[in-house]
Amino acid sequence: MAAVSGSVRLQRCVVSPAGRHSASLIFLHGSGDSGQGLKNWIKQVLNQDLAFQHIKIIYPTAPARPYTPMKGGISNVWFDRFKISNDCPEHLESIDVMCQVLTDLINDEVKSGIKKNRILIGGFSMGGCMAMHVAYRNHQDVAGVFALSSFLNKASAVYQALQKRDGALPELFQCHGTADELVLHSWGQETNSALRALGVSTKFHSFPGLFHELSTGELEKLRAWVLAKLPGEMERPKE
């Protein structure tokens, strides 16, 4: 199967703002899911869509590609992995291609009139990892980054990029269940500590007994954080 190229336009599922669009949130799904699947999952957990008065939410779908942890089976994943572990090399070739594809998505929002500092990017599991690569390596001027049940490998290219940083960095919001058996809670904590040591302002919320899943509590905390990072603009008088 041909490798994913940087010219790919991602399928996307959108929740439009109820009012005037002045900010955007890009929410990346976990491995094997889709944008529509993540939107539906969040709706199931909250009993309603995650929605805002002024923020557009974009749920893109990762292209299908061979995925090594599935013995080369085809899956909707943002990048390949040698294994699900924080103690192995990153598959940088596939990560870098997807950084470019997601840059195109960010640029689409900028072209539509949304300033870069009014864009948040984040995700669940692999989606959160992908968001950290996109923001901290390529787009350090976004409003913030969020990562739910996510981690970075110990020798991540993200850490290397931040050692050469210049200027302010977007804040990181993390949530992680203490009972997560797929992405260990300690991996999330280590990621948070490493990024904080490199100058990132971080928030880390642990959820006792939560497995590798979304919960009402973390989505409500995320909603509050999103509104703090992307407040609605005061109604301006008409000229």
Average confidence (pLDDT) over 177-201: 97
Active site members: 125, 180, 212
Asked whether 73 and 66 are in contact (CB, 8 A), the reply is yes
Q: Residue 22 pLDDT > 60, yes or no?
A: yes
Cβ atoms 81, 91 nearer than 8 A: yes
pLDDT at 96: 97
Q: Mean per-residue pLDDT for 138-155? A: 97
Q: What is the per-residue pLDDT across 32-63, written as a single tens digit (0 to 9) for each?
A: 999 999 999 999 999 999 999 999 999 999 99
- Kindly give the residue spans of alpha helices, DSSP state H, lying in the chain: 35-46, 92-111, 126-138, 157-163, 185-197, 216-229
Give yes or no for a contact between 81 and 68, defined as CB atoms under 8 angstroms apart. Answer: yes
On the question of pLDDT at 5 being above 80, the answer is no
**Residue ranges with strand state E in 37-86:** 55-60, 64-67, 73-76
pLDDT for the residue numbered 234: 55
Domain ranges of the chain: 12-229
Per CATH, which fold does 12-229 belong to?
Rossmann fold (3.40.50)
Strand partners, 171: 144
Q: Are 74 and 1 in contact (CB under 8 A)?
A: yes
Q: How confident is the model at residue 9 (pLDDT cuts 50, 70, 90)?
A: confident
pLDDT at 13 over 50: yes
pLDDT of residue 7: 60
Find out whether 32 and 63 touch, Cβ atoms under 8 Å: no
